[in-house]
Amino acid sequence: MNQIPLEKALPFYLQIQQTIKERIWQGEYKPGDRLFEAQLAKQFSTSRSPVREAIRTLINEGLLIMDEKSQITVYKPTLKDVRDIYGCRVALESAAVALAAERASERQIEELGRIIEKTEAAVESNKKEEIVKWNTKFHEHIILISENIRLKKLVDELHSLTYYYRLLNIEGNERGLVILKGHKEIFNAIREKDPEKAVLSLKKHTEEDLKNLIILIEGKEGEK
């Protein structure tokens, strides 16, 4: 790979962290691939220290794994991981969407509606990256509407893996339409100020996502 010039406005380790993260999300670094500090330092034209700090942060986020021999590899989703993280998401986001249905202002509901419109446009043009982008913004906006800072902090801890799963999960039969339909049901429940309906819609939407992701992971394992 070519050397990558770094911007001095941000600490080097943050720039390295973001670049590695994007390479994982975009599939340039595959699940199970080994990464080496020396090679990364050479690519970024820097010392090993900021590379080591970037790696440490990405390990904490779950995107990199360090084994007992201190070898660094890219995170490889397992069915247990997926089920565990989706279980956490359902618990946290169910609480958030119930609060959102109770507390959402007209302005916040309008903004959520605009996100739905952006998602619909992305689905119609079949732009998968845009679908993932607006999918993420939809769920993030619900967390903001909930006005629960502690809940947001817990959700943020899962952000990197959740986004990674969304990138994987965009594949499948009419996934964009399925995602959009689920978001519309959640949106309508919030607009109707119906917390119970909002929770049920959120759970249904998340379960559909989980089922599709499990099918994709099992399919990849079956190809080996």
Q: Where are the domains of the chain?
A: 12-74, 79-222
Query: What integer pLDDT is reported at residue 113 of this predicted model?
Result: 97
Residue (of 21, 170, 161, 163) closest to 81 by Cα position: 161
pLDDT single digits (tens) 183-208? 999 999 999 999 999 999 999 999 99
Question: Which CATH architecture best describes the domain 12-74?
Answer: Orthogonal Bundle (1.10)
Query: What integer pLDDT is reported at residue 218 of this predicted model?
Result: 87
Q: Of the CATH numbers 3.20.20.80, 3.40.50.450, 1.20.120.530, 3.40.50.12160, which one belongs to the domain with range 79-222?
A: 1.20.120.530
Q: What is the mean pLDDT of the chain?
A: 93
Taking CA atoms, 58 is separated from 38, 66, 141, in Å, by 17, 10, 24
Phi first, then psi, for residue 95 (nearest 5°) are -65, -40
Query: What integer pLDDT is reported at residue 15 of this predicted model?
Result: 92
Judged against a pLDDT cut of 90, whether residue 169 lies above it is answered with: yes
**128-146 and 159-169 are packed helices; what angle lies between their axes, rounded to 10 degrees?**
140
pLDDT single digits (tens) 116-148? 999 999 999 999 999 999 999 999 999 999 999
Query: What integer pLDDT is reported at residue 116 of this predicted model?
Result: 97
